[in-house]
């Protein structure tokens, strides 16, 4: 069975490590800290040599076998640190990892880290790792788990905070764990061991939301209507005007319409020169709606633009909110009704 993070950290308190570990997930701070904890424990147990293997698209998977077979002149125990960012080793990588797990070398620990993970990433290779060692999926924290995580991190740095201060920290950092961790480190220097209340926290913590139109589009395409509307309100409060916000959003809607109309999605992604790191946002949006939806969104964007320039009847900001909600929740059919 997979280990959760609490079980994994408890396991690291033991006297021995397993031959192979798979740490995988998109919550990069939790993933990084889990991998760092394993590396630190390995050093403490005498795994004094570490070799890093970057498994990008050009990686030669025979290198894993050569590294496993190599003898160290300087250390009896080694850590092989294999970075597999996409979580997809391909056919050659899957075979290489399964072969490694069938006969892992003595006095060697293999750590595989993946920055992306979902059920579709699972395969014979990850099952082989789980049988030979341990699989630790690093899932994003749920909203109700975040206060506990923040309290634990504050306590680890000698700080305590009132519940309203925790809520203020969540609001200021928008649930971004890295931003929250950075602010807690700063609070440890500034708060002087005092118990934090909401007023004190707001005075000491910078607003890390950094609203911008790129986050606005991403939130809508990712299905997070609440965040998209919150970002829009923040941009409006900062004095942004509707026409200035529509440019990038219109660009993204036109891209979605082209991708949805393409007969071959993979070819379309290559033709549009979309970075692999960005594909997930667009694929999620494509799966949530059919082609006609993006055409209706484009029509709604045109309406928002016209209203912002004084043409037609209605409130441009209200219609902008309606557009974002429709992008995030296509199945709600928010744009099927005739516009007022």
CB-CB neighbours of 144 under 10 Å: 7
* 165 and 264 housed in the same domain: no
Q: Looking at the structure, do residues 171 and 257 belong to the same domain, yes or no?
A: no
Instruction: Say whether both 196 and 227 belong to one domain.
Output: no
> What pLDDT is attached to residue 304?
94
> Which pLDDT score, from 0 to 100, does residue 266 have?
85
Structural tokens at position 21: 């570990």
Containing structural domain, residue 275: 213-332
Tokens 């929740």, residue located: 329
Exposed / middle / buried, residue 239 (Cβ in 10 Å: 0-12, 13-18, 19+): exposed
DSSP string for residues in 244-298: HHHHHHHHHHHHHHHHHH-S-HHHHHHHTT--HHHHHHHHHHHHH--HHHHHHHH
Within the chain, which residues score under 50 in pLDDT? Answer: 337-340
For 197-211, how does the pLDDT look when each residue is reduced to its tens digit (9 = 90+)?
888 887 877 655 556
DSSP code at position 330: G
Could you tell me if 179 and 287 lie in one domain? Answer: no
| pLDDT the model gives residue 238 | 80
> What pLDDT score does 206 carry?
63
Q: How many CB atoms lie within 10 A of CB 320?
A: 25
**Chosen domain end from 112, 137, 162:** 137
- Residue 338: per-residue pLDDT: 39
Q: pTM for this one?
A: 0.62
Total domains in the fold of the chain: 3
Alpha helices in 113-161, H assignment, sequence order:
124-132, 146-156
- In terms of domains, do 117 and 194 share one? no
Give me the CATH number covering residue 327: 1.20.272.10
In terms of domains, do 274 and 223 share one?
yes
d(CA 168, CA 48) in angstroms, rounded, equals 43
Residue 92 lies in a domain: yes
What are the E-state strand segments in 115-220? 134-137, 160-161, 195-196
pLDDT reported for residue 323: 95
Separation CA 135–CA 117 (nearest Å): 12
Assigned domain for 89 exists: yes
CB 177 within 8 A of CB 27: yes
């Amino acid at each position: 069975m997979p280990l959760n993070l609490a079980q994994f950290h408890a396991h690291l308190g033991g006297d021995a490590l397993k031959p192979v570990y798979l740490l995988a997930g998109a919550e990069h701070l939790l993933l990084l800290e889990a991998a760092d904890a394993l590396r630190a424990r390995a050093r403490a147990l005498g795994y004094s040599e570490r070799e890093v293997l970057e498994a990008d698209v050009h990686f030669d998977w025979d290198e894993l076998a050569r590294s496993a077979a190599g003898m160290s002149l300087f250390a009896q125990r080694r850590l092989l640190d294999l970075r597999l960012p996409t979580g997809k080793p391909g056919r050659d990588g899957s075979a290489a990892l399964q072969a490694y797990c069938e006969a892992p070398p003595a006095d060697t620990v293999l750590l595989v880290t993946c920055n992306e993970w979902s059920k579709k990433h699972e395969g014979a290779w990850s099952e082989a790792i789980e049988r030979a060692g341990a699989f630790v999926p690093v899932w994003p924290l749920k909203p109700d788990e975040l206060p506990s995580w923040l309290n634990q991190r504050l306590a680890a740095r000698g700080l305590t905070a009132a519940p309203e201060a925790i809520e203020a920290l969540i609001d200021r950092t928008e649930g971004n764990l890295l931003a929250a961790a950075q602010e807690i480190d700063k609070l440890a220097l500034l708060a002087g061991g005092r118990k934090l209340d909401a007023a004190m926290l707001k005075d000491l913590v910078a607003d890390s939301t950094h609203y911008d139109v790129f986050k606005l589009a991403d939130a809508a395409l990712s299905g997070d209507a609440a965040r998209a509307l919150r970002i829009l309100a923040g941009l409006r409060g900062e004095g942004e005007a509707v026409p200035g916000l529509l440019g990038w959003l219109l660009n993204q809607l036109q891209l979605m319409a082209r991708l949805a109309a393409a007969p071959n999605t993979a070819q379309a992604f290559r033709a549009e020169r979309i970075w692999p790191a960005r594909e997930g946002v667009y694929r999620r949006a494509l799966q949530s709606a059919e082609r006609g939806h993006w055409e209706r969104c484009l029509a709604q964007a045109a309406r928002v633009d016209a209203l912002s320039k004084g043409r037609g009847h209605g409130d441009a900001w209200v219609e902008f909110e309606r557009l974002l909600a429709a992008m995030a929740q296509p199945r709600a059919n928010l744009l099927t009704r005739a516009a007022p």
